[in-house]
Amino acid sequence: MRKIVFQAAVFFLWCAAAGAAPADIGLISPSRLMGEAGRWAILDARPPRLWRAGHIPGSWNFYWEELTRTDSRGVPYRPLEAGELAARLGAMGIDEDTPVAVYGDADRSWGGEGWVIWVLASMGHRAPLRLVDGGVSAWRAAGGELTTAAPAAGLEKSYTVRPRVELDISTEELEEGLENFSVVDTRSTFEWLRGAVPGAAHISWKRFFSGRHRRPLDAAALRALLRSGGVDLSRPVVYYCAGGVRSAWAWLVHTLAGLPPARNYEGGYEAWKRRQPGR
């Protein structure tokens, strides 16, 4: 009976997420960003050393490795508390009603641009969130300049968090309803062979982008990729990696493709392997 109730709850939450007002997530071309530079707050999701070497003018560095921590159970890569992230964004002049464009280079940022957009969406960001299509390499190819100058400090804002819990999933919920989800492991083959969530399909996160600018797959290509991996799209899809960063890139590509709402298992395999079954 408990199992039936849980399955019904999963289905209800999935339907509710599908019917909820989605975050305004999309792509923006480098040329459009150049023409609308004053409208967008820009976040650079690459490692700080790459940002210091040259970044899109006006962009702030917002790299996942500096915005995560190890929690009390020893699980690494957990995002900082929402209040702390909100304070950092506010200090950059960003609140929940500020349009934000995010860029990286997919590979060297480990898909961190996806993580930034997922974090903002999960905090309840209300204004448009845009991924710069092709990242910094496409920006340069379009004639965009890079600078080493820090962005000018603007008016500090107060970021109000409105959590979107349906974008994440806890270890307990995943374990209890495992058969109700289509789970996708986005880690490397080496990591996968050392242990995985039971029943998960394995599709490396690097297969979710293509081309020299590492652009996200379009809807047709993504559907084909998921189908080839045996992913059942009639069930809610959950992406995971070691700690929610690479899987957030897969989640973003899924979201951009307009597929039914997916979830990013932020705790990832690091949380899964520390679970206490039956508790």
Q: What is the pLDDT of residue 14?
A: 46
Q: What is the pLDDT of residue 87?
A: 98
**Residues present in the chain in total:** 279
Against a cut of 0.85, is the pTM above it?
yes
φ, ψ at 154 (rounded to 5°): -105, -160
Question: How many alpha carbons lie under 13 Å from residue 195 in its C-beta half-sphere?
Answer: 8
Q: What is the pLDDT of residue 277?
A: 63
Helix, strand or coil for residue 237? strand
Of all helices (H) and strands (E), which one includes residue 154?
A: none
Q: Which of the following CATH numbers is that of domain 2-16+165-272: 3.40.250.10, 2.40.240.10, 1.10.3720.10, 3.40.50.300?
A: 3.40.250.10
Q: What is the pLDDT of residue 111?
A: 92
Query: Which stretches of the chain score pLDDT less than 70?
Result: 1-21, 277-279
What residue ranges do the domains of the chain occupy? 2-16+165-272, 21-141
pLDDT tens track for 234-249: 999 999 999 999 999 9
Residue linked to tokens 């995971």: 240
Q: Is the dihedral of CA 144, 148, 152, 157 positive or negative?
A: positive
* The domains spanning 2-16+165-272 and 21-141 adopt the same CATH topology: yes
In three-state form (DSSP H/G/I as H, E/B as E, the rest C), the secondary structure along 17-51 is: HHHCCCCCEEEECHHHHHHCHHHCEEEECCCHHHH
Of all helices (H) and strands (E), which one includes residue 152?
A: none
Q: What is the pLDDT of residue 9?
A: 45
Single-letter code of the amino acid located at 275: R
Single-letter code of the amino acid located at 228: S
**Whole-number Å distance between alpha carbons of 272 and 80:** 19
Q: What is the pLDDT of residue 155?
A: 92
Q: What is the pLDDT of residue 181?
A: 98
Do 186 and 246 contact (CB within 8 A), yes or no?
yes
Q: What is the pLDDT of residue 10?
A: 46
Contacts (Cβ under 8 Å, ≥6 apart) of 12: none
pLDDT tens track for 72-97: 999 999 999 999 999 999 999 999 99
Q: What is the pLDDT of residue 108?
A: 81
**Whole-number Å distance between alpha carbons of 60 and 65:** 15
According to CATH, the topology of domain 21-141 is Oxidized Rhodanese; domain 1 (3.40.250)
